Amino acid sequence: MQTPLFQHLDPDVVYEPREDTFLLLDALEQDLISIKKSKPAIICEIGPGSGVILSALSTSLGSSCFYLGIDISPHACRTTNETFLVNKNGLNFDLVNADLVSCLKPNGTQMFDIVVFNPPYVCCENSEVIDSNDGLLDRTWNGGEQGTATLERLVPDLQNVVSPGGFVYLVAISANDLKSLDELMLKSGFSKTVVVKQRKIIGEHLHILRFQKKDNVM
């Protein structure tokens, strides 16, 4: 998968693609054949930031699929919109400026065949937070004490928004409690963790995790 153009991104307000982003792209590329075979109708990226992941998926899968990005940062929504335009991804996408999946109906929609989220995963005490840009830039990386505060809020809602047999791709680091994340996902009706890719970089051991929604969970 080619990295989309993102020169229009303003790094003062939007998370700039880096190792975690590119490892996620590599993992999706590795799974591309099975993703295509599963014929997804709607793909949702939570926290698209620059939009490069969603745009690369759109370039690879084309217009047979609808792409939805949900980001808490309006700057990220605007940047992702531009990334789609600059990379000529067509018009079958939409962006919502919201907190996780709070903008969706609470029950029974189960419409996403694939959900992707590179969440704020850095373990951080509240006292370490620097309130840059109304806190929006801090929210791109600050995952709370265990680094999983945002994921822990999302996971219980995932079973309501992912279709049976659908896939969830998450980015995590080994400093996060990966065992509890696995248990939380199992409790929410997903398969055990599959590590699609991992890479050690300075100060972090990145993991790209894949989960599949069990068929019988409605």
Q: Does 207 bind ligand SAM (CB under 6 A)?
A: no
Closest distance of CB 218 from ligand SAM, Å: 25
Position of minimal CB gap to ligand SAM:
47
Among 50, 148, 163, 212, indicate the residue that binds ligand SAM (CB under 6 A): 50
Among 4, 13, 27, 47, indicate the residue that binds ligand SAM (CB under 6 A): 47
| Of 41, 48, 84, 31, residue with least CA distance to 209 | 31
In sequence order, which residues have a C-beta less than 8 Å from that of residue 208 and are 6 or more positions away? 23, 24, 26, 27, 169, 170, 171, 195, 196, 197, 198
| Buried-exposed string 58-72: b where 16+ CB fall within 10 A, e elsewhere | bbebeeebbbbbbbb
Among 99, 152, 157, 204, indicate the residue that binds ligand SAM (CB under 6 A): 99
**Region binding ligand SAM by CB under 6 A among candidate stretches 31-39, 48-56, 58-66, 204-212:** 48-56
Closest distance of CB 193 from ligand SAM, Å: 19
Q: Give the span between the Cα atoms of 100 and 174, in whole angstroms.
A: 23
Cβ atoms of 169 and 118 closer than 8 Å: no
DSSP 8-state secondary structure symbol assigned to residue 213: B
Closest distance of CB 173 from ligand SAM, Å: 11
Q: Does 87 bind ligand SAM (CB under 6 A)?
A: no
Q: Does 44 bind ligand SAM (CB under 6 A)?
A: no
